[in-house]
């Protein structure tokens, strides 16, 4: 190749590198699409809109939240997995899309371990073990003893097969060595409606779903499902105080496609952490029974890997399938 041609290729390569570096330093330069793989109104949607609004104000570029629901979140997550890794299409993923679905679905359109760049853990929605008042137990130990003496006569309502409320029930059965009849519903609302009516015995449900009913005396709360007591309901012990190692969190976090430049990942992470630390957001988290743990992208990646291994093992042992 002639020297002139070699120089031309070298200069072109330098220009490409410089252009890419400039684009990362000046990110964002156009609107960002924030994909929520669930319907509007849930925790993923609510916090995507809160974060998106803050980013729009800080960066002077619109952040457009798009709900692409379906297939347990797989449709929206797959859209982001196949998007260019330039920071202009990001995902508000969940424990389902990033840790559970790989084991729940036979044919996944993406590889949750390889097709994404973890950016930041956003929230962990705490849950509460709530019983119908007719159930003769007031503590986790009493419930375990009751379940062991009644075979599988006690029932556990969930929001559906493969949901965190279902998996919490299965984890409880496994760790407590008890039998419960799982009753899946199509969402939290019908599950709690039947629990209130006494058609089922208990549910492992997110705090906002059941805490108002517990405070009204319509349900009986006996334990939270996090590693420790919850600031939102400190009167309840953690189930881990009875079953060591028991922990269930319905979390959501932000991801980009695989190959997202580190500078863009770091900028997104920094902005999300700054917003989540504000007093207004902290107060909202407390009111909704949720918590925020600041993480670096590397820490979040490790967290997702642990969650994937933990729940994958349980799903395989129990033989749960969502399709």
pLDDT single digits (tens) 173-182 = 999 999 999 9
Output 8 or 123, whichever has higher pLDDT: 123
Question: Does position 22 have pLDDT exceeding 90, yes or no?
Answer: no
CA dihedral (311, 314, 315, 320) in degrees, to 10, reads -140
Res 18: pLDDT: 42
Res 5: pLDDT: 57
Res 16: pLDDT: 41
290 sits in the region (left: phi over 0; alpha: psi -120 to 50; else beta) called beta
Average pLDDT, the chain: 92
Mean pLDDT of 64-83: 96
Question: Does position 300 have pLDDT exceeding 80, yes or no?
Answer: yes
Mean pLDDT of 186-204: 94
Question: Does position 9 have pLDDT exceeding 80, yes or no?
Answer: no
Nearest in space to 198 (alpha carbons), one of 128, 127, 135: 135
**Signed CA dihedral, 34, 36, 39, 40: sign only:** negative
Using an 8 Å Cβ cutoff, are 86 and 215 in contact? Answer: no
Nearest in space to 122 (alpha carbons), one of 93, 99, 145: 93
pTM: 0.85
pLDDT single digits (tens) 231-254 = 889 999 999 999 999 999 899 999
Distance between CA 152 and CA 89 in Å, rounded? 47
Using an 8 Å Cβ cutoff, are 224 and 237 in contact? Answer: yes
- Looking at mean pLDDT, say which of 159-163, 195-199, 280-284 comes out highest: 195-199
Res 15: pLDDT: 46
Res 39: pLDDT: 87
pLDDT single digits (tens) 104-125 = 999 999 999 999 999 999 999 9
Using an 8 Å Cβ cutoff, are 51 and 111 in contact? Answer: no
Res 42: pLDDT: 84
- Set out the domains of the chain in order of their start, with CATH numbers: 31-125+250-318 (3.40.190.150), 127-241 (3.40.190.10)
Distance between CA 198 and CA 186 in Å, rounded? 18
């Amino acid at each position: 190749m002639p020297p002139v041609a070699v120089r031309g290729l070298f200069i072109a390569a330098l220009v490409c590198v410089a252009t890419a570096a400039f684009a990362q330093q000046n990110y964002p330069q156009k609107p960002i699409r924030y994909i929520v793989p669930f319907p509007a109104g849930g925790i993923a949607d609510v916090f995507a809109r809160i974060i998106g609004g803050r980013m729009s104000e800080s960066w002077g570029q619109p952040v457009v939240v798009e709900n692409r629901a379906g297939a347990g979140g797989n449709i929206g997550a797959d859209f982001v997995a196949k998007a260019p890794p330039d920071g202009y299409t990001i995902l508000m993923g969940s424990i389902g899309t990033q840790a559970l679905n790989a084991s729940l679905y036979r044919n996944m359109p993406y590889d949750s371990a390889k097709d994404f760049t973890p950016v930041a853990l956003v929230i962990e929605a705490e849950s509460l073990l709530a019983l119908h008042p007719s159930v003769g137990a007031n503590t986790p130990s009493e419930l375990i003893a009751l379940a062991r003496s009644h075979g599988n006569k006690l029932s556990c309502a969930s929001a559906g097969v493969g949901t965190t409320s279902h998996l919490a029930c299965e984890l409880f059965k496994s760790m407590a060595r008890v039998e419960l009849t799982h009753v899946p519903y199509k969402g939290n609302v019908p599950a709690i409606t039947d629990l209130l009516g006494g058609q089922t015995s208990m549910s492992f449900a997110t705090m906002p779903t059941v805490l108002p009913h517990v405070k009204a005396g319509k349900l009986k709360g006996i334990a939270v499902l996090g590693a420790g007591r919850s600031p939102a309901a400190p009167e309840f012990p953690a189930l881990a105080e009875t079953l060591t190692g028991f922990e269930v969190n319905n979390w959501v976090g932000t991801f980009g496609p695989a190959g997202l430049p580190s500078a863009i990942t770091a900028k997104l992470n920094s902005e999300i952490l700054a917003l989540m630390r504000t007093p207004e957001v902290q107060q909202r988290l407390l009111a909704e029974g949720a918590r925020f743990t600041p993480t670096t992208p590397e820490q979040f990646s490790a967290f997702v890997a642990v969650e994937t291994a933990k729940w994958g093992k349980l799903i395989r042992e129990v033989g749960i399938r969502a399709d």
